[in-house]
Structure 1
Amino acid sequence: MKPSIPKGTRDFSPTEVANRTYIMNTIKTAFETFGFQPIETPSFENSSTLMGKYGEEGDRLIFKILNSGDFLAKADENYLSEKDSLKITSQISEKALRYDLTVPFARYVVQHQNEITFPFKRYQVQPVWRADRPQKGRFREFYQCDADVVGSKSLWQEVEFIQLYDTVFTNLGLENTNIKINNRKILSGIAEVIGAQDKLIDFTVALDKLDKIGKEKVEAEMLSKGISEEAIQKVQPLFSFDGTNQENLDALAQMLQTSEEGTKGVDELRFVINSVEELSLQSANLQVDVTLARGLNYYTGAIFEVEAPKGVKMGSIGGGGRYDDLTGIFGLKEVSGVGISFGLDRIYLVLEELGLFKAVDLPKPKVLFVNFGENEALYAMKAIAKLRAENIKSELFPDDTKMKKQMNYANKREIPFVVIVGSREIENQEFTLKNMISGEQTNCSLSKLLDILKNS
C-alpha cells in the first residue's frame, strides 16, 4: 500500500522550505525592527486552557489528544453505552493541540505576569492545528505569524501595526495590498442608532457579506433575522461607502452623532487614519471599510483585514484588532491589547501566483571531494575537516563509484567546485581542484585550496 499523509497536511520540498523560510525571516526581521520579542508556547495545552474560548464551532475544530495508557478505563460506562462523545471526551482527553497562538499567549501573559515588562510586545511564529475541512488556502496544520502588544491602550499601536503590515508586504515585493480598517464601537453605534442593539451580531454578520452577495441579499438576510425595514432604511448609506477615507469618516460622524460609543469609535478611527496619512505608507493602501466585522465577539476597538492586490483571488492574507480583556479568560482583568496576524500559507500562494519569489540558493556544499577508494577518502576527509573549520561547506561523495555518477551528483546539486584525489595527489600531498562552471583544473596544496575556496 502506497504511503500517504492526512488530508489538510503537506510535505515541503527543499525549495518550498527555502521560500517559506524567506517569508518567515522577512516577517521576523520586521517584527524585531518594530521592537517585538519572540516567545514560543507548547504545541499542546491542557484542554481546560483551550476549550470554551472559541465558541461551539471552534471547540469542535480542536484536535484532542487521548490520555496515555488505557484511556477508556476511567470513562463512565453510561456515557460509553450512550455513545455520548462530548461527555466521554472530557474523561479520556486532558490535552489538545493548540487552535491558535492567541489563547496560549493569554495564558502565557497571566502565568508570567510578574516576569513581563509591560507594555509587552511579543511575536510568535509557530504551527497550529484545526480539524477543519481542507480547501485552497485552508489547511489542518499551518503556521501563524502573530504580533501583539498588551498593557497599553495607546492608539499609536494601531498606527504602528498598519506600518508593520506595509513594511512586510513591501519587503516581500507584494505592493498595493489593501489594508481595511473598521472599529467595533462604530458597529455598536450603528446598531444603537437604528434600534437594533439586541441584533448587533446578526446585523454585522449580514453587513460583512455585502461585497460577496450584494445589497439585496444582505437586506433580505437582515429582515429574516428580525431587523426592521425602518432600521435597514437608516443604514442605506453604508451600502455605498465609496468616497475617500475622510468623506467616509465625516458620513459616519453624522450618522452616529447621537451615539456616544459610535462617536468614540469614529474619533479613534480618525486618529489612526490621520496619523497614517501624515506619516504615509510605502506601498499599501489604507481603506475605511464599515462592513468589516471579523471577530465581533472578541474585538473591542480597531479591526484590521488585509487583502492581496487586485486580480489575485485569495481570502484575507492578514488580520487583527484591538481587544480590551484578552487575559480576563484566565482571571487577569483589564489588560488591553492589540494584535495582528500574517497568513503565511496564503501569502506563499499569492507570491507564487505573482511570480514574486526570488531565486533561492538551497543549502549545498561549496566543494565536493570525489571518492576513489578507502585511502583516497581518508586523505580527502582530513582536508575536509580543515575546510569545515574555516566554515567552508564541504562534502565527500560517500561511495567509491564511477566518476561519471559522482560528477552528475555535483552538477545536479549545482556544486561549484570538485576536488579530485588519486594516488598521484596523495604522493605529492596536493589536490586537483576543478571549477565546475569554467571547467578549469588546478593542482594546488591544501593552503592554496583553502585560499581559492575562501575567495571565490
Structure 2
Amino acid sequence: MAQKPSIPKGTRDFNPEEVAKRNYIFNTIKSKFERFGFMPIETPSFENSDTLMGKYGDEGDRLIFKILNSGDYFKDVRKNIINSGKFSVYFFELLDSIKTISNFRNDDFGYEETVNRYLKIISGIGKLEKGILRDFFLKNESEILSFFRENDSMDILQFESSLEFKRNNFEKIYNEYINELDSFNSKNSSEISEKALRYDLTVPFARYVVQHQNEIEFPFKRYQMQPVWRADRPQKGRFREFYQCDADVVGSNSLWQEVELVQLYDEVFTALKLEGATIKINNRKILSGIAEVIGASDKLIDFTVALDKLDKIGEEKVKEEMLSKGISPDGIEKLQPLFTLSGDFGTQVESLNSILSTSEEGKKGIEELQFINTAISELGLKSAILQLDVTLARGLNYYTGAIFEVSAPSVAMGSIGGGGRYDDLTGIFGMKNMSGVGISFGLDRIYLVLEELELFPETITKSTEVLFINFGEKEALYSLKAIKTLRENGINAELYPDNAKMKKQMNYANKRNIPFVIIVGEQEIENNLFALKNMITGEQQNVNLEQVVKNFS
C-alpha cells in the first residue's frame, strides 16, 4: 500500500512563487546588512546539547529539539535490564503467579508456538511491550521450558478466572521495570542525546566567536541567515522550523552600536515598504532595578518572563503568574505604575526615574536609553517609530542591556524582529569581558505581513521572460543558439523541452505567466528571424536576434 505523503507539523513546503518572495526579503535584508559593514558566517544546523541547554531559560530549554544518538539505543537499554538479575526475579515471579500455558507438551508444541500463545494470552494485561517479553523468552529458553513442564496442570479456564489477580501482579512487575528503565535513562542521558538542533543563531554565534577568537578582528560585525528549530505549538506566524536573519557586533561596549542597529531596522523595513514599523526598546538594567525595588531580585528571571507576556495574556494573568512564582503581593502592587505607563519617551523616562530612584542599576539603564533616544532624535528615522516599552522583557537569560522588539503596522502578528545587548554571553564558553549586541529579523512573519498588506512588488515572481516554442530538432537547435545569447545578456529564457502541440506549449507559457514566446519555423530560420509574441496583448512581430535582446533591455 502506497504511503500517504506528509510533512511534520510546524514545517512547510514552498512553491516557486513563495520562494521568489522569500528571496526578495532575504536579498533586501542582506543588502542592508552589508551596507552597514556586517560580514556573513554560517554555523552547523545542530550543536552539542551542552552548548544550547541553559542559555534560554526553562521555557526555552523545553523547546529545544534534541537529536537521538545513532543506533538502536533503547534496544540496548532493554537488553541491559533484561540481563539484570533483578528483572529476572520479577519475571519469574510473574510466571509463578499465573502458570499460563495449559496442556503444554514438548512433543505437541514447538517452543516458538508456545511463546506466541503466551504473548497472545497476556497481550491485554498491563502495558509491557511484547518485544521485551520475547527477548526474555529467547534468552531463557531452557529455564522457561522447564517451568512449563512442571506447571502444566492449570487449564485456560482457570487462567481466565484468576485474570484480575494476574493483571494486578503483572502491572506491579511492569512498574518495577519502568522504574528500572527511568533510572537507567537518567544515569545515561548523554548516551541518548548529545546533540540538538539550534534554537537561535546568537548562542551558536557566541560559540563561534570563542572557538575562532584568534582568527577574528574585533570588534567583529557578522550577519547570519539560516534556519532554526523550536518544539513549539504551531499556529499562525509560529513554526517549528523557520529562518532567522541576525546581525551582531561583539567586542565593543559602545552604545553607538545600539543606535546603528535601530537605524538598520529602519533601513530594512523602509526598503520593504513596511512603513510605520514600531521598534520597541527597553533595558534589562531597568528590569533588574524594578525587581530590586519590589524585593524580587532573586526572582528576576521569573519576573521578566511573566512581564514579557503582558500583551499576550493581560495584566491580571501576569500578576497571577508572578504570585505563583513567589513574588509578594506588596511587590506586585509596586509594579502597578508599569501596567499603566503611557506618554512619549521622555514622559515615560520621568516616571521611571521616580520608580527607580533607589536603584543604581535601574538608573544606569535609564541613562543608556536616553543616550540612544537622543541620538536617534538627532539622526532621524526614515519610516520606523522608536518607542519605549518598559514591560518588554524578552524572556531570554543572556540580555544585559538594551532590549529590542519590532512590531508590524496594521497587522495582528507577533514580533517581526528582536534582539539586545549581551555582556556575558561568550563568558559561558570561557571568554570573559566580550560584550556584544545584536538584532534578528523574523523572515517568516515578515513574509506574512508583506503578503497581508500586499507589499510584494509584482515583478518578484518573474522567472522566465521568454519561452521558445519547440517544433522539432532543427528549430530547437536554432532556438538554443539564440537562448544562449539571451542568457549571456542577462535575459531569462528557455526552450519548451518537447515537440508538443502548439496549444499545449502556449498554455504552458500562460500558466507560468511567461510574458513572451518566440515561434521559430522554417521561414524564420531561412531569414534569420524570430516571431516574437506578446502573451498579454497578443501582438506578434518578426525581429532579428539583436532586436530580441533590445526588447528585454
What is the deviation of 1:408?
2.0
Alignment of 1:430-449 (within 5 A): 430-436=528-534, 437-443=536-542, 448-449=544-545
Equivalent residue, structure 2, for 1:51: 53
What is the deviation of 1:2?
3.3
- Matched AA of 2:63: L
2:298 partner SS: helix
- For the pair 1:227 / 2:327, whether they are aligned, the reply is yes
Equivalent residue, structure 2, for 1:315: 414
Q: Report the identity percentage.
A: 71
User: In 1, Cα distance between the equivalents of 2:316 and 2:460?
Assistant: 52
229, 237, 246: which one aligns with 1:129 = 229
C-alpha spacing 1:441/1:173, structure 2 compared with 1 (3 Å): closer
Equivalent residue, structure 2, for 1:5: 7
Equivalent residue, structure 1, for 2:475: 376
- Matched AA of 1:366: E
- For the pair 1:284 / 2:380, whether they are aligned, the reply is no
- For the pair 1:299 / 2:399, whether they are aligned, the reply is yes
Alignment of 1:19-30 (within 5 A): 19-30=21-32
User: In 1, Cα distance between the equivalents of 2:322 and 2:65?
Assistant: 34
What is the deviation of 1:440?
4.5
Contact 1:430 1:443 in 2 (8 A): no
C-alpha spacing 1:95/1:199, structure 2 compared with 1 (3 Å): closer
Equivalent residue, structure 1, for 2:123: none
User: In 2, Cα distance between the equivalents of 1:215 and 1:386?
Assistant: 65
User: In 2, Cα distance between the equivalents of 1:57 and 1:201?
Assistant: 11
Structure 1 residue ranges without an equivalent (≥5): none
Q: TM-score, normalised by structure 1?
A: 0.90
User: In 1, Cα distance between the equivalents of 2:36 and 2:356?
Assistant: 35
User: In 2, Cα distance between the equivalents of 1:12 and 1:319?
Assistant: 25
C-alpha spacing 1:94/1:218, structure 2 compared with 1 (3 Å): closer
CA deviations over 1:251-306 (Å, ceiling 9, x no partner): 21222222111111111111111211222222222221111111352211111111
C-alpha spacing 1:190/1:402, structure 2 compared with 1 (3 Å): same
- Greater mean deviation of Cα atoms: 259-268 or 276-285: 276-285
- For the pair 1:274 / 2:374, whether they are aligned, the reply is yes
User: In 1, Cα distance between the equivalents of 2:464 and 2:313?
Assistant: 55
User: In 2, Cα distance between the equivalents of 1:36 and 1:184?
Assistant: 25
Contact 1:366 1:392 in 2 (8 A): yes
Alignment of 1:132-281 (within 5 A): 132-281=232-381
C-alpha spacing 1:441/1:201, structure 2 compared with 1 (3 Å): closer
CA deviations over 1:175-234 (Å, ceiling 9, x no partner): 222211111111111222232322333333343344444444444444444433433343
C-alpha spacing 1:453/1:246, structure 2 compared with 1 (3 Å): same
Equivalent residue, structure 2, for 1:42: 44
88, 98, 103: which one aligns with 2:198 = 98
Equivalent residue, structure 2, for 1:452: 548
User: In 1, Cα distance between the equivalents of 2:59 and 2:323?
Assistant: 25
CA deviations over 1:135-181 (Å, ceiling 9, x no partner): 11111110001111101111111111111112211221212222111
- Greater mean deviation of Cα atoms: 96-105 or 53-62: 53-62
User: In 1, Cα distance between the equivalents of 2:513 and 2:475?
Assistant: 23
User: In 2, Cα distance between the equivalents of 1:314 and 1:264?
Assistant: 32
User: In 2, Cα distance between the equivalents of 1:382 and 1:66?
Assistant: 53
Contact 1:15 1:360 in 2 (8 A): no
Contact 2:426 2:432 in 1 (8 A): yes
Contact 2:226 2:245 in 1 (8 A): yes
User: In 1, Cα distance between the equivalents of 2:320 and 2:472?
Assistant: 80
Contact 1:184 1:296 in 2 (8 A): no
User: In 1, Cα distance between the equivalents of 2:81 and 2:419?
Assistant: 40
- Greater mean deviation of Cα atoms: 101-110 or 87-96: 87-96
Contact 2:471 2:520 in 1 (8 A): yes
- Matched AA of 1:337: G
User: In 2, Cα distance between the equivalents of 1:417 and 1:209?
Assistant: 53
C-alpha spacing 1:217/1:387, structure 2 compared with 1 (3 Å): closer
CA deviations over 1:61-110 (Å, ceiling 9, x no partner): 33333444555677685589644456555214443322211121111101
420, 423, 430: which one aligns with 2:519 = 420
C-alpha spacing 1:198/1:55, structure 2 compared with 1 (3 Å): closer
1:430 partner SS: coil
Contact 2:77 2:181 in 1 (8 A): no
User: In 2, Cα distance between the equivalents of 1:143 and 1:413?
Assistant: 28
2:215 partner SS: coil
Contact 1:62 1:130 in 2 (8 A): yes
User: In 2, Cα distance between the equivalents of 1:45 and 1:220?
Assistant: 36
Equivalent residue, structure 1, for 2:35: 33
C-alpha spacing 1:216/1:64, structure 2 compared with 1 (3 Å): closer
1:5 partner SS: coil
Relative to total residues, which structure has the larger helix share, 1 or 2? 2
Equivalent residue, structure 1, for 2:108: none
431, 438, 445: which one aligns with 1:346 = 445
117, 136, 145: which one aligns with 2:217 = 117
User: In 1, Cα distance between the equivalents of 2:321 and 2:71?
Assistant: 50
Contact 2:308 2:395 in 1 (8 A): no
Contact 2:301 2:395 in 1 (8 A): no
- Greater mean deviation of Cα atoms: 370-379 or 320-329: 370-379
422, 425, 438: which one aligns with 1:326 = 425
What is the deviation of 1:125?
0.6
C-alpha spacing 1:4/1:86, structure 2 compared with 1 (3 Å): farther
Equivalent residue, structure 2, for 1:61: 63
Contact 1:75 1:88 in 2 (8 A): no
Contact 2:405 2:417 in 1 (8 A): yes
Q: TM-score, normalised by structure 2?
A: 0.75
CA deviations over 1:324-347 (Å, ceiling 9, x no partner): 111112111111111111111111
C-alpha spacing 1:360/1:90, structure 2 compared with 1 (3 Å): farther
What is the deviation of 1:430?
2.1
2:246 partner SS: strand
Equivalent residue, structure 1, for 2:174: none
Contact 2:21 2:461 in 1 (8 A): no
